């Protein structure tokens, strides 16, 4: 019997066509090729199953982004502009179409989670999404893949309660904004303290608004925070929150830029920490929502450690208990 569960990687070479100068930009196509090359050489290689996504339709995006924003985004790409909204957000002719495909990959992750149980599901897509707000591109993000997946899960499969666990080094302002007043979607984010880190949001006192009060949980870590503090925070804050909320399904915004070698943050995560995060989420998902858990790639920019970090995370998710 295999040591690992089947690992569904949702991926297309088309994700490489969002190319804004190769490695001149940290959010480069090579991020994905490095991950794949690493996984194919390692202990998970026989458990991998790659699936090609199809593009998200506008109807699936409109619950999160405005039509006007989508038109502006498409027009910026097709007219040959090099940036959208801010100089960080580099675009090329293909970016709009590739972003629709990345959103479609997150929807396919949901579809697979509903069709099969006991498998690992990971959307290996770019551009990332968790900084993108309803009408604002930010931090290399254009369409909020995680938020789109959550709304899709609710709408297509009538799963009402969604728990989002964001462990990217940065606060997912776009996810928080989308669900700020929504008591059915719990947003938990563990990130470097906003005083020290982009985008400057995600303070502990931000806990949601209106009917959504109490359904946002920001866990801001000091620079240099490492494994022991993260594990303690997961155990003492995330686990009780998830057990109390009783979600129908869980979405992980899986960012790997908290790694100690990643200069996008001041956090000091080890590679092995991502394995602990994976097994933590897998165990909890089994306990609270019959294992309905998908992961969607966000950040992670050190090309030498991104592959090993993703491998460690997938191994934590996939190990048979
Ligand atoms: Zn990040």
65 is catalytic: no
Mean pLDDT of 54-64: 95
Quickly name the fold that domain 7-318 has: 3.40.800
Percent of the chain with pLDDT over 70: 99
Instruction: Name, in order, each residue with C-beta under 8 angstroms of 166's C-beta and a sequence gap of 6 or more.
Output: 130, 146, 172, 175, 187, 188, 189, 190, 191, 252, 253, 255, 298
Question: How far, in Å, is the centroid of ligand 1 from the Cα of 156?
Answer: 29
Q: What is the pLDDT of residue 291?
A: 96
On average, the pLDDT of the chain sits at: 97
Question: How far, in Å, is the centroid of ligand 1 from the Cα of 48?
Answer: 25
Question: How far, in Å, is the centroid of ligand 1 from the Cα of 158?
Answer: 30
Say if residues 257 and 264 touch (Cβ distance below 8 Å).
Answer: yes
Q: pLDDT tens for residues 4-57?
A: 999 999 999 999 999 998 778 999 999 999 999 999 999 999 999 999 999 999
Question: How far, in Å, is the centroid of ligand 1 from the Cα of 132?
Answer: 12
Q: Which two tokens stand for residue 120?
A: 């690992």
Domain ranges of the chain: 7-318
Q: pLDDT tens for residues 151-200?
A: 999 999 999 999 999 999 999 999 999 999 999 999 999 999 999 999 99
Length of the chain, please? 321
Choosing from 38, 65, 130, 131, which is the catalytic residue?
131
């Amino acid at each position: 019997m295999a040591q690992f569960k089947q690992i569904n990687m949702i991926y297309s070479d088309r994700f490489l066509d969002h190319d804004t100068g190769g490695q001149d930009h940290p959010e480069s196509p090579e991020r994905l090729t490095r991950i794949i090359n690493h996984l194919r050489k390692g202990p998970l290689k026989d458990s991998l199953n790659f699936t090609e996504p199809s593009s998200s339709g506008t109807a699936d995006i409109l619950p999160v982004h405005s039509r006007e924003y989508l038109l502006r985004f498409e027009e910026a790409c097709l007219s040959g502009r090099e940036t959208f909204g801010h100089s960080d957000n580099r675009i090329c002719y293909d970016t709009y179409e590739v972003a629709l495909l990345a959103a479609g990959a997150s929807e396919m992750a949901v579809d697979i989670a509903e069709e099969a149980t006991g498998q690992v599901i990971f959307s290996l897509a770019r551009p990332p999404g968790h900084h993108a707000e309803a009408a604002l591109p930010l931090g290399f993000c254009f369409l909020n893949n995680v938020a789109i997946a959550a709304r899709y899960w609710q709408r297509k499969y009538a799963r009402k309660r969604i728990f989002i666990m964001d462990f990217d080094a940065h606060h997912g302002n776009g996810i928080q904004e989308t669900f700020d007043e929504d008591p059915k979607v719990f947003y938990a984010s563990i990130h470097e303290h906003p005083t020290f880190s982009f985008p400057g949001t995600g303070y502990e006192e931000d806990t949601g608004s209106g009917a959504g009060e109490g359904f946002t949980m920001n866990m801001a870590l000091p620079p240099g925070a490492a494994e022991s503090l993260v594990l303690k925070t997961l155990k003492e804050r995330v686990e009780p929150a998830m057990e109390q909320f009783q979600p129908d399904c869980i979405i992980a915004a899986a960012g790997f830029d908290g790694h100690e070698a990643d200069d996008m943050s001041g956090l000091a995560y080890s590679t092995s920490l991502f394995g602990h995060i994976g097994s933590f989420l897998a165990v909890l998902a089994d306990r609270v929502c019959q294992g309905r858990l998908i992961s969607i790639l966000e950040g992670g920019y050190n090309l030498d450690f991104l592959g090993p970090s993703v491998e460690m995370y997938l191994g934590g998710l996939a190990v048979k208990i």
